[in-house]
């Protein structure tokens, strides 16, 4: 394996952990969940010494209990947040690994070089000689599909169709890899709203008990003051969730843009390396058929 210019097992993040790396930029959901849980634990271990001092509300709001009787919803919110962040980070690493395949030179840029049925198999062999598990790299696999079609069928006119169909398939697959983070981004603010509803129920319920007990005006004032402070505590969970969802959404949008740019790079490279050279083959074949001298 050391003789390869690019080794998927050694360069892919999941492969380095001893796992079978998923296709292209797809991420192992279980792995991202476990690492997200570990990141959540580290986050709370860092905050816990500050929480013990009890001086900062912005720190205490991440913990349950206390005098304010905060709920445990922030724990779940932060877990989903870190799960999503780890997922996007792994995806970014895998995208970086996919970009490395763009620099693998298997087809010369020489304008005079022609891709045909005669050398299609040799090009595929060159890909396998330079890259281990080349089928896990989008650009190389797309080239292989086109070259295999050319090698087996021999119809140059169909190669462009194969590349286009594969490009559409890759775009759909790439879109599907964002299903999990999109679901997590939806769930994070929902958890925040749930925590707020729980806090509102507790605050209003306490005030209702005071009213039912027939308290005097001073007692009602104290109870109402407790309700307003309880409302402030209740909305902390929504604040945490909305900020987390905003940050994760922005990062995911940035990564999606980068992946779209990568898809464009793959399409341009396939055109430059294969499609543009196939057109020259069409010209050569046409001249051979119409010009006996050229054929000789």
Q: pLDDT tens digits for 40-49?
A: 999 999 998 8
pLDDT for 275:
84
CA pair distance 127, 108, nearest whole angstrom = 13
Kindly write down the DSSP assignment for every residue of 212-235, as one continuous string: HTT--HHHHHHHHHHHHHHHHHHH
Every domain of the chain and the residues it spans: 6-295
Backbone angles phi, psi at 131, to 5 degrees: -130, 125
Please give the Cα distance from 4 to 51 (Å, whole number). 51
What spatial distance separates the first Cα and last Cα of the chain, rounded to whole Å? 45
Q: What is the pLDDT of residues 112-125, one digit of tens each?
A: 888 888 888 888 99
DSSP 155: -
b/e 96-117 (16+ beta carbons within 10 angstroms → b): ebbbebeebebbeeeeeeebbe
Q: Which residues of 57-90 are buried (b: 16+ CB within 10 A; e: fewer)?
A: eebbbbbeeeebebbebbebbbbbbbbbbbbbbb
pLDDT of residue 83: 96
Structure confidence at residue 282 (pLDDT): 47
Predicted pLDDT of residue 294: 40
- Sequence length of the chain is 296
Low-confidence ranges of the chain (pLDDT < 50): 207, 220, 280-284, 286-287, 289-290, 293-296
């Amino acid at each position: 394996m050391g003789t390869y210019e690019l080794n998927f097992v050694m360069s892919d993040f999941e492969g380095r952990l001893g796992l079978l790396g998923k296709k292209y930029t797809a991420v192992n959901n279980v792995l991202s969940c476990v690492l997200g849980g570990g990141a959540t634990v580290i986050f709370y271990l860092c905050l816990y010494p500050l929480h013990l001092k009890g001086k900062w509300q912005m720190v205490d709001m991440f913990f349950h209990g206390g005098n304010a009787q905060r709920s445990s919803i922030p724990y779940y919110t932060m877990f989903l947040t870190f799960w999503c962040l780890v997922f996007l980070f792994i995806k970014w690493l895998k995208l970086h690994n996919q970009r490395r395949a763009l620099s693998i030179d298997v087809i010369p840029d020489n304008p005079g070089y022609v891709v045909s049925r005669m050398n299609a198999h040799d090009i595929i062999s060159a890909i396998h000689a330079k890259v281990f598990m080349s089928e896990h790299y989008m650009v190389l696999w797309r080239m292989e599909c086109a070259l295999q079609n050319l090698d087996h069928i021999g119809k140059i006119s169909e190669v462009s169709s194969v590349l286009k169909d594969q490009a559409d398939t890759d775009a759909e697959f790439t879109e599907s890899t964002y299903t999990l983070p999109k679901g997590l981004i939806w769930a994070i603010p929902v958890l925040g709203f749930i925590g707020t509803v729980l806090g509102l129920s507790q605050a209003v319920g306490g005030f209702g008990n005071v009213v039912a007990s027939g308290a005097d005006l001073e007692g009602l004032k104290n109870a109402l003051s407790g309700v307003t402070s309880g409302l402030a505590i209740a909305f902390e969970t929504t604040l945490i969730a909305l900020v987390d969802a905003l940050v994760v959404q922005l990062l995911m949008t940035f990564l999606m843009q980068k992946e779209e740019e990568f898809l464009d790079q793959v399409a341009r490279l396939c055109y430059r390396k294969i499609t543009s050279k196939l057109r020259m083959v069409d010209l050569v074949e046409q001249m051979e058929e119409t010009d006996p001298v050229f054929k000789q």
